[in-house]
Structure 1
Amino acid sequence: MIQVNLKGMGVALITPFKEDESIDFEALGKLIDFQINNGIDYLVVLGTTAETPTLSETEKKQIIQFAVERVNGRVPVVLGVGGNSTKSVVEKLKNDDFTGIDAILSVAPYYNKPTQEGIYQHFKAIAQATKLPIVLYNVPGRTGVNMTAETTLRLAREFDNVVAIKEASGNITQMDDIIKNKPKDFLVISGDDGITFPLITLGAVGVISVIGNAFPKEFSKMVRLALNGDYANALQIHHRFTELIDLLFVDGNPAGVKSILHVMGYIENRLRLPLVPTRITTFEKIRKILEELNVKY
């Protein structure tokens, strides 16, 4: 199996926008440095949290180039490359420039609601189209279909460059099944901040995090402690953030975490339609918790 170090905390990077909704590259650069300087293990660029469906192809290429240059090899960069047209994803993998990209994160095909065989064939085609390591992404709440443990394990066993899965099904039994029966070097990564701690205790290797955008130091410490078996101290940090994590997703992602980054002074509180900023009632609850966490703003 191809090796890439994706243990620990990866951050699903947001895309900051200016008041006119153009990309704020100055803010993006500061945010990347904030992540790396505070101990994250890798960055995920153009994932769901980046509002990628609202970005043009030109903007996506600009973000990739900017992020790779700004990171400058300090941490691995994982790029979101997925879709519900297998042919389109394969063509992108064959034709685009992936210089500076360490792995691909590819979501299960959404909206089409394929069978398990269809999901398998989709990822088979992707695995055969690139030599880059591939992280599968199972998030049935967004795609409309769950990739079963059986399908995940089938892909993990048959393709050397299918190296990990970001599991966001919310089904602990399914995740545990994958962990228990996976090939030795295949990685199970939490796709949900709220269950990262318990999933690590079962054998997951970390998280691709949303809250890490705002709290990279604290959340990466929690992940590191848990991975080192210091469950008591990791649990304390986990419990500090559970209520805030729930609030981040009340009005959709990344509205919640963008509101926090705004009050922290990193970005404008702007999203692209159809997403809108978090409601005032939700933000007041978020602000109360930020004050309890001694966040300066």
Structure 2
Amino acid sequence: MSHQFSGTGVAIITPFHTDGSIDFNSLTKLVDFQLNNGINYLVVMGTTGEAATLNKDEKKAVIDHIIKINNKRVPLVIGIGGNNTNEVVAGIKSFHAYNEIAGILSVAPYYNKPSQEGLYQHYKMIAEASPVPVILYNVPGRSAVNISAETTLRLANDFENVVAVKEASGNMEQIMEIIKNKPTDFAVISGDDALTFPLICLGAEGVISVVANAYPKDFSDMVNAALISEIAKAKALHFKLFEIIQNLFTEGNPAGIKAILHINKLIENNFRLPMTGVSINHYSKLEELVNQTR
């Protein structure tokens, strides 16, 4: 593969016990399940990992546990982002395990709604502070601001260690503009499971996936087939999981994926507020879809 973040990255969930404490035994099982089924790298402490509701000590404990279980089997990417640029830079400077990770994923600043120049300057500070490659994360549905194609390309050209963007804008024209005009060694990574197959056909390098938590083999096989233009095989696997993906985010993320992992007896179905589990009706719908894919 042509890029260190090609293929299937998995935005791994954080399992909890009923009392809200971290379930490290289930986390071990889940990491092994991913690695034994062909995924290419793990993304730790993203939105799907409920990082917003973990304190600093808990984040460190989860990261250290995954480093230990992974044992350098696949690259690790750590989510370090926020809407206070100085605080993000301080977090990057104080991160304790750079010899164990391949890069950081940094979400666009949420709530503040900065201008494109503000976004550029935010990521400039991050790029200058980070000793490892940086993946931009554009998710306007959560951040309330879109990183334009122009800003993404400006960052890609100006900073050698800004190596990729996780694009979850859902804006196909914008993503195609980035793919068309990007530097050769800059990767476009799908941030939408449903759009991964068409985006790879257009030149994306792969995905940072939610559904792969539960379907690492099928989703990795789809991505790998698409990357080598085995279109019929990739399309069949894409449509095998399509209805599950369509229903995965109906009642929030990671509510849907945790329900499926619970249906498959990999974790308990617990959350930290403000996240809650899916409704009984939606759980039944997901159970039905899971049984159809067995």
Q: If the TM-score is normalised by the length of the shorter chain, which range does it land in?
A: over 0.9
- Map Cα deviations across residues 39-72 of structure 1 (whole Å, 9 max, x no partner): 0000000000000111011100101111111101
Task: Kindly state the Cα deviation for residue 98 of structure 1 after the two structures are TM-superposed.
Answer: 2.6
1:208 aligns with 2:219: no
Task: Name stretches of at least 5 consecutive residues in structure 1 with no aligned partner.
Answer: none
Partners in 2 of 1:5 and 1:71 — Cα distance?
A: 17
Identity of aligned residues (%): 56
| 2:143 is equivalent to residue 118 of structure 1 | no
The answer on 1:245 being equivalent to 2:262 is no
Quick one: distance in 2 between partners of 1:259 and 1:243? 15
Query: Residues of 2 paired with 1:125 and 1:4: CA distance?
Result: 24
1:189-228 to 2 correspondences below 5 Å: 189-228=189-228
Quote the residue 1:66 is aligned against.
65
What is the distance in 2 between the residues matched to 1:132 and 1:29?
Answer: 26
The residue identity in structure 2 corresponding to 1:68 is I
Root-mean-square deviation over aligned CA pairs = 0.9
Q: Retained in 2: the 8 A contact 1:29–1:67?
A: yes
Aligned: 1:285 with 2:270? no
CA distance in structure 2 between the aligned counterparts of 1:88 and 1:23, rounded to whole angstroms: 25
Q: Counterparts of 1:98 and 1:124 in 2: how far apart (Å)? A: 22
Q: Using the alignment, how far apart are the partners of 2:269 and 2:93 within structure 1?
A: 36
| TM superposition shift of 1:4 | 6.2
Match of 1:24 in 2: 23
SS in 2 for 1:6: coil
Instruction: Please give the TM-score of this superposition, normalised by the length of structure 1.
Output: 0.97
* CA–CA separation in structure 2 for the residues paired with 1:198 and 1:96: 36
Deviation (angstroms), 1:96: 2.0
What amino acid does structure 1 have at the position aligned with 2:211? I
1:81-230 matches, cutoff 5 A: 81-99=80-98, 100-230=100-230
Residue 21 of structure 2 corresponds to residue 5 of structure 1: no
Residue 254 of structure 1 corresponds to which residue in structure 2?
Answer: 254
For 1:183, give the aligned amino acid: P
CA–CA separation in structure 1 for the residues paired with 2:264 and 2:281: 19
- CA distance in 1: counterparts of 2:102 and 2:208, whole angstroms: 15
Contact in 2 for aligned 1:108/1:147 (Cα 8 Å): yes
Please, which moves more after superposition, 126-135 or 283-292? 283-292
On the 8 A contact 1:4/1:133 being kept in 2, the answer is no
What amino acid sits opposite 1:16 in the alignment? P
Query: Matches of 2:141 and 2:169 in 1, distance apart?
Result: 7
- Tell me, in whole angstroms, the C-alpha distance in 1 between the residues paired with 2:248 and 2:139: 17
**Letter of the 2:279 counterpart:** R
> Aligned-pair distance for 1:205?
0.6
- Provide, for residues 115-137 of structure 1, a one-character-per-residue CA deviation record: whole Å limited to 9, x for no partner: 00000000000000112100000
Question: Contact between 2:3 and 2:185, CA under 8 Å: does it hold in 1?
Answer: no
CA distance in 2, matches of 1:260, 1:196: 20
Structure 2 distance, partners of 1:282, 1:245, is: 13
Q: What is the alpha-carbon distance in structure 2 between the residues aligned to residue 113 and residue 23 of structure 1?
A: 32
For 2:233 and 2:217, how far apart are their aligned partners in 1?
15
- AA at the equivalent of 1:193: D
Aligned letter for 2:260?
I
Q: Which amino acid aligns with 2:91?
A: K
Structure 2 SS opposite 1:49: coil
TM-aligned CA distance change 1:4 to 1:231, over 3 Å: closer
**Given residue 4 of structure 2, which amino acid in structure 1 is its aligned partner?**
N
Structure 1 residue identity aligned to 2:117: E
Following the alignment from structure 2 to structure 1, what is the Cα–Cα distance between the partners of residues 21 and 93? 29
- Amino acid across the alignment from 1:182: K
Q: CA deviation at 1:214?
A: 0.2
